[in-house]
Structure 1
Amino acid sequence: MPSNSKIKFDRSQALKAAMMVFWKKGYGGASLSDLTEAMGINKPSMYATFGNKEVLFVKATEHYVESVDLVHRQQLFAVESDLSTRLKAYLSSVISGQCCENTPKGCYISLCVSEAEGECIPQTAVAKIKEVSQFAYQALVDVFTHDEEAKQRNLHVDAQLHARFLITFLSGTAAMARAGAGQEALLPLVTQAMKGIGL
């Protein structure tokens, strides 16, 4: 029997399922039984494919960045729209995702960053979550620094400050979404956040 016949599952779907578990329970709260049950595989298959829980977390985090986080960030670079429209679309997209009924509430990255300060996450996993936690911040810094409209509005002068403010705002909405606040409560806050950077 061919050796690869032992692995009869969709790797992408398995990673998505693992991502959902980590998103809901965090690294420490996600047991191997939780993960393998959600992924629809047994532990030997999980170990054969991903190595261990730590590697699975890293791969699930990368899957989150590619399938969820990147979709939000793409709103920032829609060249056919003005700066205000792009920023509002980005913030609204993130908040809608935080409140989505089809995924755990809040933000995967925010949850895992908070957990990374404890001692229950291995160093490789901590390094990965800290790495990806900078992606949205850096994307905003790039927009405020290089976008011509941003320069005209002098937003490039305090690009890092503006980016940090918006990331802090989104961390707050993530916490509120996890506590039960819905889109109807959180999306109107986008207007206030925009005013906070002068838009």
Structure 2
Amino acid sequence: MIRLLGRVFFKLTTFLNLRGSMAAGRKKEFDEAAVLDSAMKVFWQKGYVGTSMSDLTESMGIKKQSLYNAFISKEQLFIKATDLYLNNRYANNFSLLYQENISLSERMRNCMMSILVRQCDSTEHKGCFVTLCQSDLDSDNMPAEATQKLIDSDNDILNMWVDLFLTDPESIALGLNKRANECSMCIFTTLKGTACMSRINTPSTDLTCVIENCLKNIGLH
């Protein structure tokens, strides 16, 4: 009897170990980075509330269960898509602010124009992912964590501008550090406005004057 139980236990243990090894070795049926990029573009076009699960699965080319397995929920997928946009489509513009041997006004102009051109880029959805999705913030269907993600994203971007004005040597020399919050809000709001204008197909050439006037108004010519 003991030997019989031992054989049963051995077979059961072997089966469970084998199944575990198969599960661990099983590869995903899709490229997670690629499907996340596809999801980002859907949210960018339709916003959080306007995007359905069928919109996502169709664009991502995966089944609903695979989506849940990889990303847990629509909300968590949205949060990852927001991070992807900020890291891959937005943050790289800010490197232009820290180029050496270039005046502050030129660095800021280069950065703002880079953002503007991307906003008006016809090869992707126009405007700004974050700005577009923020139109859902007053909706009862916008979940708390996704809402907070959009708020935090705005705060991070605004604080980046504030930090630049507070610490940049030329900004300090010009006294702009004393108006860091004011200057940052001016730039931040200007780029929000150009994002909205780009959504109605206003070309970047028509919006360049907005950038120039913004810089002039804060004291950079």
Match of 2:190 among 154, 169, 173: 169
**Residue in 2 aligned with 1:77?**
98
Richer in helix (by share): 2
Q: Determine whether 1:129 maps to 2:144.
A: no
Q: Distance in 1 between matches of 2:51 and 2:205?
A: 30
Residues 133-144 of structure 1 mapped to structure 2, 5 A cutoff: 133-144=154-165
Shift of 1:187: 2.3
Shift of 1:118: 2.0
**Residue in 1 aligned with 2:209?**
188
- Over the residues paired in the alignment, what is the CA RMSD in angstroms? 1.4
Q: Secondary structure at the match of 1:9?
A: coil
**Residue in 2 aligned with 1:153?**
174
Residues 1-150 of structure 1 mapped to structure 2, 5 A cutoff: 2-3=22-23, 5=26, 7-150=28-171
TM-score, normalization: structure 1?
0.95
Q: Distance in 2 between matches of 1:133 and 1:48?
A: 29
Q: Is the 8 A contact 2:190 2:211 kept in 1?
A: no
Q: Secondary structure at the match of 1:156?
A: helix
Q: Is the 8 A contact 1:73 1:136 kept in 2?
A: no
TM-score, normalization: structure 2?
0.86
Runs of 5+ in structure 1 lacking a partner?
Answer: none
Residue type of the partner of 2:150? I
Equivalent pairs, count: 199
The sequence identity of aligned pairs, in percent, is 35
Shift of 1:6: 6.2
Q: Distance in 1 between matches of 2:44 and 2:99?
A: 28
Q: Secondary structure at the match of 2:46?
A: helix
Q: Determine whether 1:178 maps to 2:199.
A: yes
Q: Distance in 1 between matches of 2:79 and 2:100?
A: 32
The verdict on how the C-alpha distance between 1:20 and 1:150 changes in structure 2, with shifts beyond 3 A counting, is same
Q: Is the 8 A contact 2:57 2:67 kept in 1?
A: yes
Q: Is the 8 A contact 2:190 2:210 kept in 1?
A: no
Q: Distance in 2 between matches of 1:75 and 1:139?
A: 13
Residue type of the partner of 1:19? M
Shift of 1:129: 1.0
Q: Distance in 1 between matches of 2:147 and 2:93?
A: 23
Q: Is the 8 A contact 1:22 1:57 kept in 2?
A: yes
Deviates further, 133-142 or 72-81: 72-81
